[in-house]
Each structure stands twice: as structure tokens, then as C-alpha cells.
């Protein structure tokens, strides 16, 4: 059984800003913030089987705020892809697999666009850092030699000591700048690795889901109807009790969507949700009518 549980790993965090003063206007909340605030609750709701709540929440959020995302902002794009993935998971656990594939398709397209745009944006930043590093390394090498020459002298005049202090300050400043640029280059490499992995993972999952739905369609045709297919597949799902509850519930709801009148499928789904089957409740005995006096 396929699963849409694609964990979207977070990108390198940006430096935290100090809290605004009480009189300052509130900053707009980003999609990354929304994802960070809601992710745990949405994931727990999906595991409980409450996909409809998660889907409704995320689709409302994306309709309201997703259209304003700048495609060159890889952090916001990354968050939007992760939200699409959560919406896809919510659809799957509700049995609405075609809708889940629709969200996954948008996630895959967004991941591909994000990787492409980030490569172009970060390529320019890489060149800037690399050019500066080459310039600074050359300057640092010259100043290191100058400092070495000054310190090799037996005695320094007051002017030479001032020069030595200036050279030391220059070296400290530029070494710090070089270290910062080297960290930035490593961070950019990490970001590109993550975005390319997202592109590959979502693209692969989308292809698998298209194949999975095509196989289901073929099996329904071979079973000569949805009702017969659901009866046979339900027996398999029931027997496969080693599967996680999430997957069994998703499959049970899928089968119930295909054959809404299947009482056995409904009992199976209700059992996974802990809902007591009304048809199995013992009926209270009929009260005997009292003879008229």
C-alpha cells in the first residue's frame, strides 16, 4: 500500500529577530510561520483519522495566503509544498485519493519550480561570495606577511605599533567575514540539496500514485464492477492487520467511497475509529402488553 507520508525537512533557519516593541505594528505572518504553528496538530489529526478537518484548514489557508507567495522565496515555497503534502495526506486518510493526487501534483510542481528558481538565485549569491572570498584571501595574505615582517623587527616605533594594531584589526575583521561567507556557501549547498531531494521525492511519489490509481481502475474492471472489487479487497485489508492503522483506515474509507452501500466496509471503518456499530446492538425486549382489566 502506498503512503503520502513525505516528511518535508525544514530548511536552514534564518536568524531570529528580536521581538517588536509594544507600540510596533505586528509583522505579517508567513506561510512558514503558519506551517510551524499548525504542523504538529495537523499531523496528529491525520493520525487520528480526522483528515477532513486538516484538509479544510489547509485549503482555506492556501486559498487565502498561498496566492501571495513569491516564487523566488524558497523558504515560503518550501512551506507551501509541505502544506500541499499535508493536504494530500488528509485526502488519502479520507479515501479521496484522486483529490490527494491533485494536491500531490501541485506539491511536485511547486518543488520543481522551487529547486529551479533557487538554483538561479543562489548561483548569483555564490558567485558574489566566491569573488569576495578570493579578494579577501589575497588581501589577508598580504597583511599577514606585513604583520610577520613588523613582528620580526627587534623594536617598533610608536607609528609602527599603531600600524601593527591596524593590521591585526584588519586581519580579524576579514577573517570573520571570510568565515561568514564560507558558512553561507555551505548553507546554500545544504538548501539546494534539500530542494533537489524534495523535487525528486515528490516527483517519484506522484508517478507511483498515478500507477496505483491506474492499477485500481484495472482491478475494478477485472472484478466486473466496483461492488465485487470492494468485497474482495476489503477481505485483504482486514487480513493485513500488521499494517499501520492510518493505512488500513485510508483503504477502508477508499473502499467505502467506491461502494457506499457496503455495510461490511462501514463496520470496518467504524471499528478502526472506535465507533460502535448500531446494527450490532442488542435490541431491548418488547414490553408485554398488560391485559385490560
Which pTM does this prediction carry? 0.78
What is each CA distance from 79 to 37, 82, 131, in whole angstroms?
12, 5, 31
Stretch 51-71: mean pLDDT? 93
pLDDT digits (tens, 9 = 90+) for 183-226: 999 999 999 999 999 999 999 999 999 999 999 999 999 998 99
pLDDT at 22 over 60: no
pLDDT digits (tens, 9 = 90+) for 115-124: 999 999 999 9
Q: Which of 38-47, 133-142, 269-278 has the lowest mean pLDDT?
A: 269-278
- DSSP labels, 40-94: HHHHHHHHHT-HHHHHHHHHHHHHHHGGG--TT-HHHHHHHHHHHHHHHHHHHHT
Q: Confidence class of residue 174 from pLDDT cuts 50, 70 and 90? A: very high
What is each CA distance from 32 to 39, 179, 195, 243, in whole angstroms?
10, 28, 15, 32
Amino acid at each position: 500500500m502506498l503512503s503520502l507520508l513525505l516528511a518535508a525537512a525544514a530548511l536552514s533557519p534564518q536568524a531570529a529577530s528580536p521581538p517588536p516593541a509594544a507600540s510596533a505594528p505586528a509583522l505579517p505572518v508567513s506561510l512558514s510561520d503558519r506551517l510551524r504553528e499548525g504542523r504538529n496538530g495537523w499531523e496528529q489529526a491525520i493520525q487520528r483519522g480526522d483528515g477532513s478537518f486538516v484538509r479544510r484548514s489547509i485549503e482555506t489557508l492556501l486559498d487565502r495566503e498561498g496566492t501571495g507567495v513569491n516564487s523566488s522565496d524558497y523558504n515560503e515555497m518550501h512551506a507551501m509544498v509541505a502544506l500541499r503534502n499535508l493536504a494530500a495526506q488528509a485526502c488519502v486518510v479520507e479515501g479521496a485519493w484522486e483529490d490527494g493526487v491533485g494536491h500531490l501534483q501541485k506539491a511536485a510542481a511547486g518543488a520543481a519550480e522551487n529547486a529551479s528558481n533557487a538554483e538561479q538565485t543562489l548561483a548569483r549569491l555564490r558567485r558574489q561570495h566566491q569573488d569576495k572570498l578570493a579578494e579577501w584571501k589575497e588581501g589577508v595574505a598580504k597583511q599577514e606577511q606585513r604583520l610577520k615582517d613588523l613582528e620580526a623587527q627587534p623594536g617598533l616605533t610608536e607609528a609602527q605599533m599603531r600600524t601593527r594594531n591596524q593590521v591585526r584589526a584588519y586581519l580579524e575583521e576579514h577573517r570573520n567575514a571570510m568565515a561568514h561567507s564560507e558558512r553561507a556557501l555551505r548553507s546554500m549547498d545544504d538548501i539546494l540539496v534539500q530542494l533537489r531531494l524534495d523535487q525528486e521525492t515528490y516527483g517519484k511519489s506522484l508517478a507511483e500514485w498515478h500507477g496505483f490509481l491506474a492499477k485500481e481502475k484495472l482491478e475494478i474492471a477485472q472484478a466486473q464492477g466496483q461492488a465485487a472489487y470492494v468485497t474482495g479487497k476489503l477481505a485483504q485489508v482486514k487480513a493485513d492487520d500488521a499494517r499501520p492503522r492510518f493505512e488500513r483506515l485510508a483503504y477502508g474509507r477508499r473502499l467505502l467511497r467506491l461502494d457506499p452501500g457496503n455495510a461490511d466496509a462501514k463496520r470496518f471503518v467504524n471499528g478502526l475509529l472506535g465507533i460502535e456499530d448500531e446494527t450490532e446492538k442488542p435490541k431491548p425486549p418488547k414490553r408485554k402488553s398488560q391485559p385490560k382489566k
